[in-house]
Amino acid sequence: MQQQKPLVEALQKFQQQKTMSFHVPGHKNGQLTTLPSIYHNVLQMDVTELTTLDDLHYPEECILEATKLLQQTYDASRSFFLVNGSTVGNLAMIYATCQQGDTVLVQRNAHKSVFHALELVGAVPVVLAPEWHEETKTAGHIALHTLVHALAQYPFAKALILTSPTYYGVTAPHLQQLIEQAHAYSIPVLVDEAHGAHFAASSHFPASALTLGADVVVQSAHKTLSAMTMASFLHVKSTLVDEERIAKYLRMLQSSSPSYVLLASLDDARHQVANYTQADYHALMQIRTQLIDALRMMELVVIEAADPLKLCIRAEGYNGFQLKAALEKQHVYAELADNEQVLFVLPLVTADAQLTYQKEIEAIRHAVTHLQKEQPIHKVFPTLDYTERVTCIERSRATKQQLVTLEQAIGQRSAQSIVPYPPGIPLMMHGETITAQHIEALLHYQQLGCQIQGEHDLTNNQLYVMKED
């Protein structure tokens, strides 16, 4: 058990001194703010790199102690606090392992931040198509034979980038074998484990990629742990990746004025994982079972993933956006909606949390009652069945782009990434050849009212494509 919270304790001790501020930030311990009073206590902790409070980029005191405890909790050789989200972790691990022109193997349904990092570095992505996960009706993970085929074609690849679990809580069934296959070629494995920060809390949860041999793992501590939004972890355990290069790029990419409120929440989240007990797990599963039973009594379909904190909820005959809208009218907010379902993300409940879902269950019941008075709208979503399991996406030297109609775009190379959000997984990537399947899926997203990120003119049904010289 790890009882101490070095960074939290240092901040509390500092605040108790009733210090006088002639330093940044300008709100002066919350005295000069027009924010509502609820913010004032937090602002007293919003300080900077002062004596006894250490330095995130060159830690020697409380931050060093806190990160060493984090390292022990996750059994890493080195761990880092991230205050710019898992995005900065993905950027740092790719910058630390890849250079311009390098070939990188990457799971096709990776987060947009992974592809942004590859574009910034100038690496050439070889995308590996995932298998379809029938239970959740979503893209899952790459098959072992897909990776074997890719390694035979690109044995000189500089990294393999995987995502596990997916946004929907689906874990890679052969993750350890995938890692071992890459290591046989001395290729480091970088894993975006944004949704798996809680896996280390209990042996009942799926195994973390770090435990299974991955070289670098990034986790969003704010998604399922108690940390604040943007607060994340990065762990290294590798003979193939230089820890100092990771540290170097984190110093370059993270803010030089990190939020101590976020850092304290990371210290607290680590403490939560390190002290999670069997009794806590049983409390979680009890309240989860009660929720699932209540949802099924309402004739909702509940799909359980490998990660017990993720639940897919469906209303037969209705699409996920209809269910989401009905829930929000009752002030119940799901994580996301898609054609089939809404996604619920449960917290890492502890035995002393005093958490029940009675109020939420009643609100969901009202939402379902109102939904059933609406016209059912549910269409089969066009599945993107990638015939090419391994595709190299060469960046074009062409800098010019032009707007064309969706029909004209078929067969041309996309000049932008087109990203339905959430979950933030590109439908089309910059440089990717646009297919009829892409356009069909895009039109379906539009009909459902899904937010589409990227540079486009979808109001006039136009996309930017590369204009080759």
Q: Rounded to a whole number, what is the distance in angstroms from the first to the last CA of the chain? A: 63
Cα–Cα distance measured from residue 243 to residue 116, given in angstroms and rounded to the nearest whole number:
22
Order of strands across the sheet that contains 310-314 = 301-304, 310-314, 342-345, 336-337
Residue pLDDT, tens place only, 136-169: 999 999 999 999 999 999 999 999 999 999 999 9
Tell me how many degrees the CA angle 454-146-154 measures, rounded to the nearest 5. Answer: 85
The packing angle between helices 260-274 and 6-16, to 10°, is 130
Q: What is the CATH number of domain 6-275?
A: 3.40.640.10
* Lookup result for tokens 């929440």: 265
Strands 159-163 and 103-107: parallel
**Would you state the pLDDT for residue 362?**
98
**Blockwise average pLDDT, block size 10, the chain, 469 residues:** 92 90 90 91 91 96 98 98 98 98 96 94 95 93 97 98 98 97 98 98 98 98 97 98 98 97 98 97 97 98 98 96 97 95 97 93 98 86 70 72 91 87 81 88 84 86 85
**Cβ atoms 393, 127 nearer than 8 A:** yes
Q: What is the CATH number of domain 396-466?
A: 3.90.105.10
In Å, how far are 4, 126, 353, 389 from 279, measured between CA atoms?
21, 45, 12, 44
Decide: pTM greater than 0.75.
yes
DSSP string, 209-251: TTTTT-SEEEE-HHHHSSPPTT-EEEEE--SSS-HHHHHHHHH
CATH of 278-372, one of 3.90.1150.10, 3.50.50.60, 3.90.1150.150, 3.40.50.300: 3.90.1150.150
Q: Which residues make Cβ contacts (< 8 Å) with residue 213, sequence separation at least 6?
A: 176, 179, 180, 183, 189
**Would you state the pLDDT for residue 117?**
96
DSSP string, 160-228: EEEE-S-TTSPPPTTHHHHHHHHHTTT--EEEE-GGGTTGGG-TTSPPPTTTTT-SEEEE-HHHHSSPP
Residue pLDDT, tens place only, 428-440: 888 888 988 889 8
Residue pLDDT, tens place only, 84-126: 999 999 999 999 999 999 999 999 999 999 999 999 999 999 9
**Would you state the pLDDT for residue 18?**
86
**Cβ atoms 211, 201 nearer than 8 A:** no
Cα–Cα distance measured from residue 287 to residue 215, given in angstroms and rounded to the nearest whole number:
35
Residue pLDDT, tens place only, 283-330: 999 999 999 999 999 999 999 999 999 999 999 999 999 999 999 999
Amino acid (one-letter) located at 117: A
Q: Where are the domains of the chain?
A: 6-275, 278-372, 396-466
3-class SS at 414? strand
Tell me how many degrees the CA angle 110-214-393 measures, rounded to the nearest 5. Answer: 35
Give percent above pLDDT 90 in the chain: 78
Question: What is the dihedral sign for C-alpha 132, 134, 136, 137?
Answer: positive
